[in-house]
Amino acid sequence: MTYIKNANNMGWNFDNTYINLSDFFYSKINIDPVSSPKLIILNEQLAKNLGFNIDSLKSYEGTLIFSGNKKIEGGEYIAQAYGGHQFGHFTILGDGRALLIGEQITPLGERYDIQLKGSGKTPYSRGGDGRAALAPMLREYIISEAMYGLGIPTTRSLAVVKTGDPVIREDIKKGAILTRVASSHIRFGTFQYVSSFGSHQQLKDLADYCLKRHFPHIKDDSNKYINLLNEVIKSQASLVSKWQCVGFIHGVMNTDNMTISGETIDYGPCAFMDEYNPNTVFSSIDRNGRYSYKNQPIMTEWNLCRFAESLLPLLNEDRNKAIQIAQNAISNFSEIYYSNWISIMRSKLGLFDEEVEDKSIIKDLLNMMEKYNEDYTNTFISLTFDNNKESSMYNSQEFKYWYKLWQERLQRQGKSKEMVKGLMMNSNPAVIPRNHRVEEALDAANKGNLNVMKRLLEVLSKPYEHSKKQEEYSKLPKPSNCPYRTYCGT
Ligand code: AMP
Ligand code: MG
């Protein structure tokens, strides 16, 4: 494996700290080069924010870095070890097809993991080929960037390269590698792994590492590990409330797919809901609806319980006391979630202040949307712009009654119509990555045409802009007899 010598000139600026933890937490990897790497897409804005020289990333040398064919001097190429509850069952996992190549320090001094996903086998591959196909990697690119545009904490996508090698799935696919950017890749499952198989000291080391990296304001607290748990509860409650309010369904909320940083990670079978239905499930492998839309907050809480369990030895020396502390912390989850959720929902309905009946105004609307099969995103848009009232819901007596109550509620807060509309425009996205649009972009990309995807990305990057060109992207798919199905992105 050869090294890139002038990496600093390209803007690579690594300072690797994860490697200072014991090698229990990772394995060093020698990457297998790919046949003929080709850059498919580069996220130029993100690259700039990370401090990279765009032209050099676009050059062939840049492509060789993104494919793993050349290493960056100063990079530590490691696969991270972790475990996780997959659909309720604990398993040892780890980066089976991903590599952390280093921690990039941006010009503003922020630290981001740079990870190659689809880069080949690691000791954690468990029989898998370590590779990824083009369409799922581009899909992760689209959805993660859409989430970023929506203001939802997420890992991001810097680049996708085609490898020139086939990957064998149900048929032969084009191989690809996604370069993913994250505040870190530390998962609930990383804690579960060390708590099950590591020493007390190693658990402490990981917790201290997370405190320093993600929660420096509490790292010296006398009860810092309890506060770590509280911070993770808060950030996950906030994250899942944001998912619910845009109709995002993650699809595979296993504990290895939950980050300590509070970013959405591992875009596999995720998708956005069109018609409002709390039971919506897209993932073909989620047969019992464990990770359905309505279950997402409950499953977040379940996952937090698993995280809290892994922290028990640090919460108190006395196990019973530690359990009590963990239970107290977790018992706050539903209230924190609810207050996040209702505050976003109030904004979506143009409410600046709080009244006790707000919950029923919101719930009544959601119930009608479910009853009349209304589109989740577009209902809020038509309320924002007071248009499109042709459907059976809008013509129903119950909606008219609801609308009158809502208008009265808006009157009582004494804000101008412009202010209400402004708040609603900033709180209700005009566009989400509609499944049929994502599929259309991926189909074109698979045939070598990236323009459809680039146009989609452009629109998704400003969902609150409410511009003319977005209208086309807010149209619903044609009615179909088959529900949309997603597959675990392999
Ligand atoms: P995911 O469902 O994508 O979060 O993946 C679950 C686990 O399976 C992770 O440990 C992945 O690294 C691993 N994995 C997924 N796909 C592959 C693959 N093609 N080869 C090896 N490991 C994989
Ligand atoms: Mg995963």
Per residue in 146-164, pLDDT (tens digit) is: 999 999 999 999 999 999 9
Out of 459-463, 466-470, 486-490, least confident range? 486-490
My answer on whether 268 and 163 are in the same domain is: no
Average pLDDT over residues 458-464: 98
My answer on whether 161 and 239 are in the same domain is: no
pLDDT bin (cut points 50, 70, 90) of residue 248 is very high
Distances (CA, A) of 269 to 5, 173, 427: 39, 18, 26
Q: What is the pTM of this model?
A: 0.97
pLDDT bin (cut points 50, 70, 90) of residue 488 is low
How much distance in Å is there from the Cα of 442 to the middle of ligand 2?
A: 22
> For ligand 1, what atom is nearest to the CA of residue 129?
20
My answer on whether 32 and 72 are in the same domain is: yes
Q: What DSSP string runs through 418-472?
A: HHHHHHHHHHS-S----HHHHHHHHHHHHTT--HHHHHHHHHHT-TTS--GGGGG
For residues 95 and 130, give the distance between their C-alpha atoms in angstroms, rounded to a whole number: 9
Q: Report how far apart the first and last C-alpha atoms of the chain are (Å, whole number).
A: 26
My answer on whether 162 and 205 are in the same domain is: no
Calculate the average pLDDT of the chain: 96
For residues 104 and 396, give the distance between their C-alpha atoms in angstroms, rounded to a whole number: 55
My answer on whether 192 and 158 are in the same domain is: no
Q: What DSSP string runs through 179-221?
A: EEEES---BHHHHHHHHHHS-HHHHHHHHHHHHHHH-GGGTT-
For residues 174 and 164, give the distance between their C-alpha atoms in angstroms, rounded to a whole number: 7
My answer on whether 11 and 144 are in the same domain is: yes
> For ligand 1, what atom is nearest to the CA of residue 131?
19
Q: Which of 32, 80, 89, 97 to mutate to test the pocket of ligand 1 (most atoms within 8 A of CB)?
A: 97
List pLDDT tens digits, range 307-363. 999 999 999 999 999 999 999 999 999 999 999 999 999 999 999 999 999 999 999
Closest CA to 268 of 143, 104, 145, 380: 143
How much distance in Å is there from the Cα of 405 to the middle of ligand 1?
A: 50
My answer on whether 227 and 129 are in the same domain is: no
List pLDDT tens digits, range 195-212. 999 999 999 999 999 999
How much distance in Å is there from the Cα of 96 to the middle of ligand 1?
A: 5
**Catalytic: which of 95, 113, 256, 286?**
256
Question: Is 422 contained in some domain?
Answer: no
Question: Is 446 contained in some domain?
Answer: no
Ligand nearest to the CA of 97: 1
Closest CA to 136 of 168, 174, 163, 100: 174
List pLDDT tens digits, range 64-102. 999 999 999 878 899 999 999 999 999 999 999 999 999
Question: Is 334 contained in some domain?
Answer: yes
Ligand nearest to the CA of 178: 1
How much distance in Å is there from the Cα of 314 to the middle of ligand 1?
A: 30
Domain residue limits at 11: 2-182
Q: Which of 80, 93, 290 to mutate to test the pocket of ligand 1 (most atoms within 8 A of CB)?
A: 93
> For ligand 1, what atom is nearest to the CA of residue 256?
4
Average pLDDT over residues 240-248: 98
My answer on whether 306 and 224 are in the same domain is: yes
| Listed residues 182, 211, 230: the one ending a domain | 182
Residue minimizing CA distance to atom 14 of ligand 1:
96
DSSP reduced 3-state for 18: helix
pLDDT bin (cut points 50, 70, 90) of residue 371 is very high
For residues 200 and 10, give the distance between their C-alpha atoms in angstroms, rounded to a whole number: 41
Give yes or no: 23 in active site.
Answer: no
Question: Is 337 contained in some domain?
Answer: yes
> For ligand 1, what atom is nearest to the CA of residue 127?
21
How much distance in Å is there from the Cα of 94 to the middle of ligand 2?
A: 8
List pLDDT tens digits, range 406-454. 999 999 999 999 999 999 999 999 999 999 999 999 999 999 999 999 9
pLDDT tops 60 at residue 489: no
Tokens 């690809």 — which residue? 176
For residues 486 and 5, give the distance between their C-alpha atoms in angstroms, rounded to a whole number: 42
Question: Is 108 contained in some domain?
Answer: yes
Residue minimizing CA distance to atom 6 of ligand 1:
93
My answer on whether 30 and 170 are in the same domain is: yes
Residue minimizing CA distance to atom 13 of ligand 1:
96
pLDDT tops 60 at residue 181: yes
Of the chain, the percentage scoring pLDDT greater than 90 comes to 92
My answer on whether 116 and 194 are in the same domain is: no
Question: Is 136 contained in some domain?
Answer: yes
Question: Is 379 contained in some domain?
Answer: no
List pLDDT tens digits, range 380-398. 999 999 997 788 999 999 9
Average pLDDT over residues 365-382: 97
Site residues for ligand 1, CB cut-off 6 Å: 93-97, 124-125, 128-131, 252, 256-257, 266, 268, 488, 490
| Listed residues 145, 160, 182: the one ending a domain | 182
Burial class (CB in 10 A: 0-12, 13-18, 19+), 468: exposed
Average pLDDT over residues 282-296: 95
The count of domains in the chain is 2
CB 406 within 8 A of CB 351: no
List pLDDT tens digits, range 95-142. 999 999 999 999 999 999 999 999 999 999 999 999 999 999 999 999
My answer on whether 247 and 270 are in the same domain is: yes
